[in-house]
Amino acid sequence: MASTAACEPIENSLKLSGKKSFAGIPEATFVEDVDAYMKDRDGVESILRQLDEQHGKYKFMELNLLARKKKLKSQIPDIQKSLDMIQVLEAKRKTNEQIETQFLLSDLLYSRAIIEPTDKVCLWLGANVMLEYTLEDAKTLLEKNHETAMKNLAQVHHDLDFLRDQMTTTEVNMARLYNWDVKRRQALNAK
């Protein structure tokens, strides 16, 4: 089963690659000097609207990344179960033993089956496609899929961290601009 600890070596290598975002998330720029930033701008309301729109886009991206993370976290155990089953089939083939098992017919209805030693297995590839592979080919394919899923999960974690930083930067910018506008209005009212 994949845990966050299992993704750490991949995440560390992603950080070393220097890539900020794998999903093409735009970087938010921090407004250090609000006075200089607002000097050539029309009005604070339009800027706040733009920042709010950008924040909404970041939220949408976060929802998509979280859905992708959830999908990957459910795929990884399935791939691992398939790899484990291939190991069982290989072991039983070597000893020439049958496997007695139960398979699902419908909800809560199982049937017994005896699996003869075999060197072939069928894998669901998706989109209602199933292909027959030798045990070695199936194992190779599943290991490649497992590695790819782990890498993608690490990239999603990396992108979520980057995205959260961008959301925080945008929120801080909005607060600073709003506070700048409040102080500016108070100064105008005082005059």
In a domain, 137, yes or no: yes
Cα separation of 179 and 2, whole Å? Answer: 45
Q: At residue 182, does pLDDT exceed 90?
A: yes
> In this predicted model, which residue has the larger pLDDT, 112 or 11?
112
CA dist 68 to 28, 146, 150, 153, 157, Å? 23, 15, 12, 8, 10
In a domain, 67, yes or no: yes
In a domain, 81, yes or no: yes
Are 105 and 26 spatial neighbours (Cβ–Cβ below 8 Å)? no
In a domain, 109, yes or no: yes
Q: What is the pLDDT of residues 46-76, one digit of tens each?
A: 999 999 999 999 999 999 999 999 999 999 9
Domain housing 142 = 41-190
In a domain, 140, yes or no: yes
Q: 191: which 2 tokens?
A: 């005059």
Cα separation of 152 and 158, whole Å? Answer: 10
Task: Report residue 175: phi and psi, to 5°.
Answer: -65, -45
CATH of the domain at 97: 1.10.287.370
Q: What is the pLDDT of residues 90-101, one digit of tens each?
A: 999 999 999 999
Q: 71: which 2 tokens?
A: 């999908």
Report the number of distinct structural domains present in the chain: 1
In a domain, 92, yes or no: yes
Cα separation of 7 and 5, whole Å? Answer: 5
Q: pLDDT category, 171, cuts 50, 70, 90? A: very high
In a domain, 94, yes or no: yes
Q: Does this model's pTM top 0.85? A: no
Residue spans of beta strands (DSSP E) within 129-182: 129-134
In a domain, 18, yes or no: no
Kindly tell me the number of DSSP H helices and DSSP E strands found in the chain.
4, 4
Are 112 and 102 spatial neighbours (Cβ–Cβ below 8 Å)? yes
Please give the pLDDT value at position 13.
47
